[in-house]
Amino acid sequence: MRIDAGVAKGLEYLHYKMKPPVIYRDLKCSNILLSYDYHPKLSDFGLAKVSPIGDKNHVTTRVMGTYGYCALEYGMTGQLTIKSNIFSFEVALLELITSRKAFDNSKPLTGG
């Protein structure tokens, strides 16, 4: 839980304390580095985008990121918002809690 709390603080910093705000766009467990005392640090800001300011609420961009962590509305429309980071954070949180991958290519697709 300490790792997740640290990642949440990092996202809070990017979203509310940075001027202009930054949308991280590639939050996943492999992009969370841990120090010797399990203090998390976000890494790989290669896909990060500056968030819109004022009355605009999204950035329209080519969909990028890791499958399984990408927010559905971003994947469908290309409209990137801060909420896209929150979706990715929730997926990473579930991975840490359950010790399972967000998307496993080795398992067959089911459905119906």
Pick from 62, 65, 59, 74: which is nearest to 31 by CA? 65
For position 23, what pLDDT does the model report?
85
For position 111, what pLDDT does the model report?
57
What residues in the chain have per-residue pLDDT under 50?
112
For position 9, what pLDDT does the model report?
92
State the catalytic residue, choosing from 4, 26, 44, 55: 26
For position 55, what pLDDT does the model report?
57
Domain boundaries, the chain: 2-98
Question: How is domain 2-98 classified at the CATH fold level?
Answer: Transferase(Phosphotransferase); domain 1 (1.10.510)
Q: Is 44 a catalytic residue?
A: no
55 Cβ partners below 8 Å, 6+ apart? Answer: none
